[in-house]
Structure 1
Amino acid sequence: MNTVKCKLPTTKNWHYSWELDLDVSQFLVHDKTKLYNASQYHMPKWQDATITENFLFEKVMHNKRICKRLIEKILGITIQSIEFPEAEKSIDIRRDSKSVRLDVYVTDNTGRVYDIEMQCTNPFDDELLKRTRYYQGMVDMDLIDKGMNYTDLNSTYIIFICTFDLFGLGYPMYTFRNVCLEDNKLELNDGTTKLFLNSTAVIPYDSPDTFPYSNLDDDIFYFLQYVNGHAPQGTFVNEINAEVSKVKENKEMEKSYMTYAMEIERHRREAKNIGIAIGREEGLRQGQAVGRKEGLCQTALSMLENNVPIELINKYTSLTEQEINDLAKEHNLL
């Protein structure tokens, strides 16, 4: 019996494999949606954790003095006082909407709102940019939900402290406001500002004196170095480092961190198992499709051997005339 050799989809074209490699999975961790690399991301041991760990960053920033000074130095403003509206700010406008839990959410004495996020992984495409848009919208909806009029919306600042250069231009800070394209001196003045700090900008420099961007506060220069793992320098960063040590000496914090890490690992395993299950299901589906195609080719070949017209073969096998002709040529039947 002749062997069917009609061209079929190969496994290299499949979207899934039996051993699915999850590059990125989205987990719900600590009631916050984040992106983690499922195969590579591992939280460090408590004693090795640094300010870049969201858990530790959040706890350190709950020191009002440190949080207030960090905001002042980033924005170049003076704040009389700040408050944390909730221990952990969660915004959930509707039951069917994507909820947001913000790392550090504070308001000052004038009502201005600040959201500060530590970001150590560079997401695919423009996910981070779209996330700032979503955060901004959710914060505004939360304010409106409390009975405010549009004209009463307070100024908001979404601040991402990144361990990478999101825009690739080498600036230590990227500040975005809404401006007119026809005249970039004309601002919309809608009270929204988004900032992205780039800790990699300071890596080649030893001190603020040699840093080419003189408008960056010296303490923020040292802070970005500290984020990159350098020893603390300057009064402010040493204060931050002391707070980090204080938090890490707290046994209850250590237990909470361990629980947090186990939750991440559990969700990672669940995501991978789901991915493997999807891969198996897709592999089975693809395998069944391959089997059906092989069967149709075998039927068409038998019909060709019995001189059945191509039009009838096409009708009963659903193979195209080109596929039938190729099959006939392959087996020297034309």
Structure 2
Amino acid sequence: MNIKGITKWNKMTLKNSYMFRLVMEKNNLCKPLIERVLGIKIKSLSYVEPEKSFEAKLRTKGIRLDLFVIDEDGVAYDIEMQMDNSYKKFLGKRSRYYVSLMDNGALKKDEPYSHLRKSYVIFICTFDPFGKGLAKYTFNAICNEAHSLVLDDGVTRVFINTEGDRHRISRELANLLGYISTGDVTDDYTRQLDEKVKELRNDTGEEVSYMTYMQTIMENRAMAYEEANQETALSMLKDGFPAETIIKYTKLTLEQVTKLAASLHRVH
């Protein structure tokens, strides 16, 4: 199967979110990544789920996280690999929404707020999300009037820039960012990551799964695009636009527009 416009399986690296999820399924590879990014030590991970789905209630927007992790102490981590910089100005609000859905249902009825788990949202970006040249941006809720006062809401958001200045971060994190950026192996952990990536590239079963997954994603996007164009065409038909104008703006065929017009007449 060959799908135009997607990365070939034998060219996949840790930058690709699909490969990232597969590699980080392994606790022994996921745990050191979190420790290097946050500069902390974790006892152990009790739960690791790649592409975790959070379905929101009613008609609100659901999300699918790249990697959802809970450690032995109940701390939750959402880790996202982000290559597309076209949406970087929305990363802050996106992280806010991720936190809200991670917290959704976390407390049982009558359970105190003190039981709400500590959580981290981590975006590993292959671009500079804020244009300051830093390799790591960490955000907590700080009081505008007294910067030393931090709101203890248990939420920390971290944005990693793999192309940023690595002089102000730990050597371990710098090595990790170097591997993500260039594929250079500089320590034992990046060697383990590289070996896992190469192992997966040689797995024909995983290649088939990847191609099937991408085919499904592209078909779903095409279907959503088609449905959106049909909705637009229906609105234009109701407003009296001629068929040629509708075809120009929606890219639908004359046959499709004619069928939509006929469906409107049947309704009325």
- The Cα offsets for residues 226-267 of structure 1, whole Å up to 9 and x where unpaired, read as 222342222111111111122222222111101111112223
In 2, distance between residues paired with 1:259 and 1:171? 37
Q: Which has the higher helix share?
A: 2
Normalised by the length of structure 1, the TM-score is 0.65
In 2, distance between residues paired with 1:133 and 1:105? 15
SS of 2:207's equivalent in the other structure is helix
1:227-242 pair list within 5 angstroms = 227-242=180-195
Question: What is the deviation of 1:154?
Answer: 1.5
- Unmatched 5+ residue regions in structure 1? 1-40, 203-210, 292-334
In 2, distance between residues paired with 1:148 and 1:256? 42
1:191-270 pair list within 5 angstroms = 191-202=154-165, 211-213=166-168, 216-270=169-223
Q: Which position in structure 2 is the counterpart of 1:178?
A: 141
Report the residue type matching 2:167 in the other structure.
Answer: P
What do you get for the CA RMSD once the two structures are aligned? 2.6
Normalised by the length of structure 2, the TM-score is 0.80
- Higher RCO structure, 1 or 2 (CA under 8 Å, sep 6+): 1
- The Cα offsets for residues 176-196 of structure 1, whole Å up to 9 and x where unpaired, read as 001111111111111100000
- The Cα offsets for residues 128-166 of structure 1, whole Å up to 9 and x where unpaired, read as 211100110111113125874311112100000001111
Q: Which position in structure 1 is the counterpart of 2:252?
A: none
Report the residue type matching 1:64 in the other structure.
Answer: N
In 2, distance between residues paired with 1:271 and 1:100? 16
Q: Which position in structure 2 is the counterpart of 1:156?
A: 119
- Unmatched 5+ residue regions in structure 2? 246-268
4+ residue runs over 4 A deviation = 85-88, 145-148, 274-288
In 2, distance between residues paired with 1:81 and 1:130? 30
Identity within the alignment, % = 33
In 1, distance between residues paired with 2:8 and 2:30? 25
Contact 2:50–2:68 (CA<8 Å) still a contact in 1?
Answer: no
Contact 1:90–1:102 (CA<8 Å) still a contact in 2?
Answer: yes
In 1, distance between residues paired with 2:38 and 2:144? 24
Question: What is the deviation of 1:96?
Answer: 2.5
